[in-house]
Amino acid sequence: MQHDYGHFEEDQLGKPYDIRLMRRLWPFVRPYRRWLVLTIALVIVLTFLDLSMPYITKIAIDRYIVPQQTSSDAAAEGDGVRPYTVRLDGPDVRKVVERHPNLFRVQGGQATIPFEALERLSPTEVRTLRREDLSGVGMLALLLLVVTAAHFGINFVQMMIMEYAGQMVMHDLRMRLFNHLQGLSVAFFSRQPVARLVTRVTNDVQNMYELFTSVIVFIFKDLFLLVGITAVLMAINWRLSLVTFTVLPLVLAASMHFAGLARDAFRELRIKVAEINARFSETISGIKVIQLFGEQEPNYRRFTRLNHENYLAGMRQIHVFAVFMPVIELLSAVALATIIWYGGGRVVQGTLSLGELVAFISYIRMFFRPIRDISEKYNVMQNAMASAERIFLLLDNKDGLRKPDPARPDPGFLDGEPLSVVQLDRVSFSYNPGEPVLQDIQMELRRGETLAVVGPTGSGKTTLMHLLLRFYEPDEGRILFNGRDIGNADPQAVRERTALVTQDPFLFTASIADNLRFGNPDLDEAGLRQVLESAQCAEWVRRLPDGIETVLSEGGQSVSSGERQLLSIARAMARDAELIILDEATSYVDSETEERVQAALGHLIADRTAILVAHRLSTARGADRIAVMHHGRIIESGTHAKLLENRGFYYRLYQLSR
């Protein structure tokens, strides 16, 4: 059964199976190869058990139910009569034989009776004669029971091992993909919709799991079974096997032909489904525009056309399967007919036993079962392959920073040395070529200083913050910590020194305590309390029913937006970093909370080096220095007093804000 894990965008079509994808999957399978070997070994055992069941029936028929004539019965051969021979070694057997002298032919210690004549004896007499047969059948039934029970147990164990290995492989793949994506640059995340990346890590990995299990089942179980059946049939009677297998080339040709048709049908259907999904999602997102412009009718007409194309593609697929399945059935019937006709002839000739014939029939039915299931597996494989491709495409994406290998790597960056000066040296940056966002930015900040950056929306303030965190690399110029280019350092080493407070406080779905520990995992109880205190959170957190263990949820009502701002400041405090990078929140909060936010900010930047994007001139005023940005350039900078003296942009803004 195939589980559905939500829809996913289909931007690429599944190509036919690619052995390269299998090879890429191998490193993930490697750690579990012991389990894999074990499960394959169990599959082999299972195949033997599967194969043994018709064989046990064959033995039961040939040896006990319809005993074969031995060579000593040559006399009976060819006269169209199946003899039944009993040894005259018990008094009760002898009694039965003596009672029907006209039926039995006694020869030495043996008596022979035509098989059909057994009907003329009373049931008790037959039971007496065939005592050994009865106990033999009982023994074989017991053996079959044991085989059946063993099959059940081993089957379960094998499946659990396979599931365990498969799940673990997928877990590793998922973690690998997650870690890989997490390591990519922020630029990558700005370009890719988050939902799509999430789908890759969750749904696509789950789809690949189907690939893993179905490949194992297909290659090992089905293939082994096919090979095993062929071997057993050859061993029983190679002549009949060869005759029966004359249909095989047809089966093979039909399967190959079908595979091609099915692939086209699947592909077409997949494209249509993807288009339908796209149209659906577009209509939902653009519903206001559609309704305002009265586009419902034409949009519906376009959709029905597409939907009908999907229906037609579906019908084509049905046609392909509706032809394939009966053709395979027909071929299987032809195989059966061959066994009856050719094999039956051999039975009459005496070169084949009845049990062997019955076994042949059972084995042939077993043989065609996996072939019929191929269609379903094909579907699963196609789906999984498409997912695998998308996953490996992402893993191949080496979208790191723009300078993946710094010219002079600086592994021991700052190495315990305190951060005493931050410099920006003629830094320029653009997201898109030809549209500069920052130009020629020059600034210097000494330990303990606060620099406020002010300027209209879109002047590049937030981008500047992102460069300092090495989310992006400057196109030109350098950013220096203690005179060392951060472009040469490990980004983590740079970020270790900083604490970021974003404009929209982003908190995780976790308790308040865990969110604060996000800033510093080693924070103890006392530390937590102190941070809450100085971030003006202690009082209202205490009032929450669960206190510091209150879980913040997305859109949760327990904590207001102002309080979320306070928590994001507290998180930065918990980090106790040397450089604070702060983008002041613009969202409106009530004046009481606003006062608290200002106080918390004051505590955060006191005694620390800080760069803050100020949206309120009151915040900027308290800074040691102010840089005024406009269209990506610093047009003025200096202390509040000096800027007022200059009577420039800042002065005029300040006058207006009073």
Partner 1 sequence: MQLIKPYFLANRWRILTGLLCLTAVDFLQLCIPLVVKRAVDDLTALNVVPSRLLVYAGWIVALAVFIGLFRYVWRRCLIGTSRRIEEGIRNQLFAHLQQLSAEYFDRSKTGDLMAHATNDIQHIRMATGMGIVALTDAIVLGTAAVGFMITIDLRLTLLVLIPAPLIVFGTRIFSRKLHQRYRVVQESFAELTETVRERFSGIRIVKAYTRENGSSAEVDRISRRYVEKNLLLVRVTRSLFPMTIFFSNLGMVIVLYAGGRLTISGTLTPGDLVAFINYLGMLTWPMMAMGWVTNLIQRGKASLERIQRILEERPLILEETGTTAAPENCSGGLSAEAVSFRYPSEDGRRRVNALSKVSFRIEPGQTLGIVGPPGSGKSSLLQLIPRIYDVSGGRIRLDGVDIRHWPLHRLRSSVAYVPQEPFLFSGTVRHNITFDDPDIGDERLHRALRMARLDRTVASLRQGLETVVGERGVVLSGGQKQRIALARAFLREEAPLLLLDDPISQVDTETGNDIIGSIRRMSATRTVVIVSHRISAVRFADRILVLDGGKVAASGSHDALLAEGGYYADTFRMQEVEESFHAA
Which 431-490 residues touch partner 1, going by CB under 8 A? 456, 466, 469, 471
The token pair at 656 is 């207006």
Two structure tokens written together for 332: 């299987």
Query: Are the C-beta atoms of 429 and 463 separated by less than 8 Å?
Result: yes
Binding mask 610-639 for partner 1 (x = CB under 8 A): --------------------xx---x----
**Of the candidates 18, 6, 10, which has an alpha carbon nearest to the alpha carbon of residue 381?**
18
Residue 18 vs 299, nearer CB to partner 1: 299
Task: State the minimum distance, in angstroms, from the CB of residue 91 to partner 1.
Answer: 21
Shortest distance, CB of residue 20 to partner 1, whole angstroms?
26
Give the separation between CA 594 and CA 566, rounded to whole angstroms. 10
Beta carbon nearer to partner 1, 2 or 16: 2
Contact residue for partner 1 among 119, 405, 415, 607 (CB under 8 A): 119
Q: Which is nearer to partner 1, 299 or 442 (CB)?
A: 299
Report in angstroms how near the CB of residue 623 gets to partner 1 at its nearest. Answer: 20
Residue 87 CB, shortest distance to partner 1, in Å, is 16
Structure tokens at 355: 């049990």
Q: CB under 8 Å to 622, separation ≥6 — which residues?
A: 450, 452, 602
- Of 451 and 581, CB closest to partner 1: 581
H helices then E strands: how many in the chain?
Answer: 25, 13
* Interface positions, 13-52, toward partner 1 (CB under 8 A): none
Total residues contacting partner 1 by CB under 8 A comes to 157
Main-chain dihedrals φ then ψ at residue 610, nearest 5 degrees: -145, 140
Which range touches partner 1 (CB under 8 A), out of 26-34, 60-68, 442-450, 524-532? 60-68
Nearer to partner 1, 194 or 407 (CB): 194
Backbone angles phi, psi at 315, to 5 degrees: -65, -35
Quick note: the x/- pattern for partner 1 over 64-103, rule CB under 8 A, is xxx-------------xxx---------------------
Site string for partner 1, 545-584 (x = CB under 8 A): ---------x--x-------------x---x-----x---
* 57 φ/ψ angles, rounded to the nearest 5 degrees: -60, -40
Alpha helices in 446-536 (DSSP H): 461-468, 491-495, 512-517, 525-534
How many angstroms from the chain centroid is the CA of residue 204?
A: 4
Between residue 493 and residue 552, which ones bind partner 1 under the rule CB under 8 A?
A: 495-496, 498-500, 502, 506, 508-509, 518-519, 521
Whole-angstrom distance, CA of residue 595 vs CA of residue 618 = 12
CA–CA dist 194, 596 (Å, integer): 34
Q: Which of residues 302-331 bind partner 1 (CB under 8 A)?
A: 303-304, 307-308, 310-311, 314-315, 318-319, 321-323, 325-327, 329-330
Residues numbered 193-252 forming contacts with partner 1, rule: CB under 8 A: 194-195, 197-198, 201-202, 206
Q: Minimum distance from CB of 183 to partner 1 (Å)?
A: 7
CA distance 143 to 442: 88
**Which of 99, 542 has the CB closer to partner 1?**
99
* Strand pairing category for 498-501 and 625-630: unpaired
Helices 19-29 & 205-216, crossing angle to 10 degrees? 100
Q: What is the DSSP letter of 409?
A: -
What are 569's two structure tokens?
Answer: 């400041």
Smallest distance, Å, CB 37 to partner 1?
Answer: 20
- DSSP H helical ranges for 60-130: 91-99, 123-129
Q: Which residues pair with 422 in a beta bridge?
A: 445, 481
Q: Does 592 bind partner 1 (CB under 8 A)?
A: no
Q: Please say which residue, 153 or 412, places its beta carbon nearer to partner 1.
A: 153
Minimum gap (Å) between residue 456 Cβ and partner 1: 5
Residue 345 lies near partner 1 (rule: CB under 8 A): yes
Report in angstroms the alpha-carbon separations of 486 from 173, 627, 632.
Answer: 32, 22, 21
Per CB under 8 A, 401 contacts partner 1 = no
Query: Judged by CB under 8 A, does residue 358 bind partner 1?
Result: yes
- Alpha carbon 586 to chain centroid distance? 40
Span 361-390, contacts to partner 1 by CB under 8 A: 361-362, 365
Please, what is the minimum distance in Å from the beta carbon of residue 165 to partner 1?
Answer: 11
Of residues 244-303, those binding partner 1 (CB under 8 A): 273, 276-278, 280-296, 298-300, 303
Number of C-beta neighbours around residue 206 at 10 A:
17
Tokens of 485: 């280019």
Binding window for partner 1 (CB under 8 A); candidates: 37-45, 96-104, 148-156, 403-411: 148-156
